[in-house]
A and B are shown apart, each in its own frame.
Chain A
Amino acid sequence: MNLQVHLGNLTLSNPIILASGTAGYGREIAPYLDLDRVGALTLKGLSSNPWVGNPPPRIHETYAGIMNSIGLENKGFDRFFREDLPFLENFQTKIIANIWGKTIEEYSDIAKKMNGLERIDAIEVNVSCPNIEQGGESFSSNGQVLCQLIQNLRQKIQKPLIVKLGPNTDDLNNVLQFMEREGVDILSITNTFPALAIDVENQSYIFSRKTAGLSGPAIKPLALKLVYDVIQRTRLPIIGMGGIMKTADALEYFLIGAQAVALGSVNLIDPSAAVQIIEGIKAYLVQKNIFDINDLIGKVR
């Protein structure tokens, strides 16, 4: 049986990836999950300098999902380099660094640092972050700024470059064409959905930033539709994610044409879910008499 997939020049032993922000830097989840069993581990979003993130509360449960307002808290590159990178050397699994910044310059800075690390196999750029040079609106909410950012980063990054889109990308058609021209290697779809919750008891917002990102099963049909829409418009390989809890959820993404999938919120409630999903995919392939997972990808068009 073959589970190996090629996403451009990034080859994964199987198409199950751990999504950014839900597996820490590997060390935290390793007691519960053999990292070498997954196709890739995406690290929690890192910026060049440490970032403290948002005040609590940072998480709120909804029907079939969670809203988070972590605010991109991270220890910064230097501490990651000292505290976590050596641990990752013990594994063969592919490591994807997820990066972000508040300005194009900050993105470039962390991109250069990550690009210099041998252990990092690919770099995923989170473009759903506030751009402080544009009044705090997200980089992805302005097609022109987004293209500028991508062009800049492509020059700095020799490793496979993954752009992670959210649900509200401005001028998507042009941005997709631009990414193909510039040589972006892979797309990740999707980040969390902007959402709102009110504290009825105290008649206030739940979160200090008012809105927060919705993830989990609640977004799966929406995320699948986003992947479907983008697949119609680009030949770039896609990592699909949003609400995958079990094997059948992952299969939906493959059938619609995603070459790999990432697991996010499910890791919070079951840190070994990835292994069960991989086993489930194998069982499905056997049952359907399919030898190669690649024969499944895009079967429903």
Chain B
Amino acid sequence: MKRAKIVQKRFLGTSFVELWLEEKDIAYLASPGQFVMVTIGSSYDPFLKRPFGILACQENQFGLLFEIVGRGTQILSQLEIGDQVDLLGPLGNGFSLNPKEALLVGGGRGLVPLYFLAQIFTNKKVPFQFFFGIRSQEEKVLIEYLSQLPIPLVISCQEELSGFYCGTVLDAFEDWRQHHSLSKSTPKIYACGPQGMFQTLAKMDDIIPNQIEVSLESRMGCGYGVCLSCAVKKKGLPGYFHVCKDGPVFRLGEIEL
């Protein structure tokens, strides 16, 4: 197990927190799509660690960005700079990093692994376009966060929000595709967001689910492959994949949602 010190902390609005942690192995090794398992609290309460995607790495530090959704994330949000957390990582497989061209599609906290990916693509000079959607005004902080990166962005909000596309991120994505004749080499699609987004994506016209990489969430007991809690059904085959070991990145066509 590793121990990391919190070196930066920032609330984004009231329900998102950005944390930067100092742990050089994770910072050097992590790749977009990978995650860490973080111990919450100190007396086995809550009992299980919590999984969080890696947001970015810088020298010997790495970032997390999480949404407060329950007790564990609530407790984590109360930690302060200088506090230490125990964790495992980097875990999981991560996205493929060598497409000719890419389209990134994210919703809500699905921003996290794609933000990391966008930075890597920028450095590697892979041409890409980032589609990002939020459900409501409250998540506007995520747009502001993402807008700090000098990257091509299409942003949508399901509520009316001045200056942005009104609809789901997939509506915006579809609209964009109709107005842009895609180059001969079809760009690779990378997606992270809620379950419903993946389901809709799989049904869209001219989409080849096996060419789309998606990063999944699931309930996890261990995060490193021993407990078999993190099952996701294989498509067209008997049995399950395990999100922590076989994923969290899968081809959209190989999983049953």
A: which residues have CB within 8 A of B?
21-24, 28-29, 31-32, 44, 50, 52-66, 68, 70, 73, 216-217, 245, 265, 267-272
Q: Is the CB of B47 within 8 A of A269?
A: yes
Query: CA A270 – CA B2 in complex, angstroms?
Result: 10
A-B contact pairs, 12 of them (CB 8 A): A22-B222, A22-B227, A55-B231, A56-B218, A56-B240, A62-B47, A64-B44, A65-B47, A68-B229, A217-B44, A271-B88, A271-B224
Query: CA A95 – CA B225 in complex, angstroms?
Result: 19
**Chain A residues with CB under 8 A of B239:** 50, 52, 73
Q: Is the CB of B45 within 8 A of A58?
A: no
Q: Is the CB of A58 within 8 A of B219?
A: yes
Query: CA A83 – CA B87 in complex, angstroms?
Result: 28
Query: CA A272 – CA B87 in complex, angstroms?
Result: 12
Q: Is the CB of B227 within 8 A of A59?
A: yes
**Chain A residues with CB under 8 A of B10:** none
Q: Is the CB of B1 within 8 A of A272?
A: yes
In the complex, whether B151 has a CB less than 8 A from a CB of chain A is no
B29 to A: closest C-beta gap in Å: 13
Q: Is the CB of B240 within 8 A of A22?
A: no
A64 to B: closest C-beta gap in Å: 6
B99 to A: closest C-beta gap in Å: 30
In the complex, whether B228 has a CB less than 8 A from a CB of chain A is yes
A56 to B: closest C-beta gap in Å: 5
**Chain B residues with CB under 8 A of A55:** 231, 233
Candidates A59, A270, A272; contact of B229 at CB < 8 Å: A59
In the complex, whether B48 has a CB less than 8 A from a CB of chain A is yes
Q: Is the CB of A68 within 8 A of B224?
A: no
Shortest Cβ distance from A218 into B: residue: B47
**Chain A residues with CB under 8 A of B88:** 32, 271
Q: Is the CB of B240 within 8 A of A269?
A: no
Residues of chain B from 7 to 53 with CB closer than 8 A to chain A in the complex: 39, 44-49
Q: Is the CB of A70 within 8 A of B228?
A: yes
Known: A52-B238, A55-B231, A271-B88. A66 touches B224 (CB 8 A): no
SS class, residues of chain A in contact with chain B: loop
Query: CA A50 – CA B231 in complex, angstroms?
Result: 15
Known: A52-B238, A53-B231. A267 touches B49 (CB 8 A): no
Q: Is the CB of A68 within 8 A of B227?
A: yes
User: Which one of A59, A62, A65, A270 has the greatest number of beta carbons of chain B within 10 Å?
Assistant: A59
Q: Is the CB of A216 within 8 A of B47?
A: yes
Total number of B residues with any Cβ neighbor in A under 8 Å:
29
B: which residues have CB within 8 A of A?
1, 39, 44-49, 86, 88, 218-222, 224-233, 238-240, 245
Query: CA A23 – CA B44 in complex, angstroms?
Result: 19
B87 to A: closest C-beta gap in Å: 11
**Chain B residues with CB under 8 A of A54:** 231
B247 to A: closest C-beta gap in Å: 13
Q: Is the CB of B44 within 8 A of A58?
A: no
Shortest Cβ distance from B48 into A: residue: A61
Query: CA A265 – CA B233 in complex, angstroms?
Result: 24
Known: A32-B88, A73-B231. A56 touches B219 (CB 8 A): yes
User: Which one of A50, A55, A62, A270 has the greatest number of beta carbons of chain B within 10 Å?
Assistant: A270
Given contacts A65-B47, A267-B222, A268-B222, 17 further A-B contacts (CB under 8 A): A28-B226, A32-B224, A44-B228, A52-B239, A53-B231, A56-B229, A56-B231, A56-B240, A57-B229, A59-B221, A59-B229, A61-B47, A64-B47, A68-B227, A68-B229, A73-B231, A272-B1
Nearest 6 A/B pairs, CB to CB: A59-B229, A28-B225, A268-B222, A24-B226, A52-B239, A58-B229
Query: CA A57 – CA B231 in complex, angstroms?
Result: 8
Shortest Cβ distance from A75 into B: residue: B239
Q: Is the CB of A70 within 8 A of B227?
A: yes
Q: Is the CB of A66 within 8 A of B221?
A: yes
Query: CA A61 – CA B1 in complex, angstroms?
Result: 21
B100 to A: closest C-beta gap in Å: 34
**Chain B residues with CB under 8 A of A32:** 1, 88, 224
Query: CA A55 – CA B233 in complex, angstroms?
Result: 8
**Chain A residues with CB under 8 A of B45:** 63-64
**Chain B residues with CB under 8 A of A270:** 1, 86
B208 to A: closest C-beta gap in Å: 26
A65 to B: closest C-beta gap in Å: 6
Candidates A28, A31, A73, A265; contact of B240 at CB < 8 Å: A73
Shortest Cβ distance from A268 into B: residue: B222
Query: CA A22 – CA B229 in complex, angstroms?
Result: 11
**Chain A residues with CB under 8 A of B47:** 61-62, 64-66, 216-217, 265, 269
Known: A23-B226, A29-B224, A56-B218. A66 touches B48 (CB 8 A): yes
Query: CA A159 – CA B1 in complex, angstroms?
Result: 35
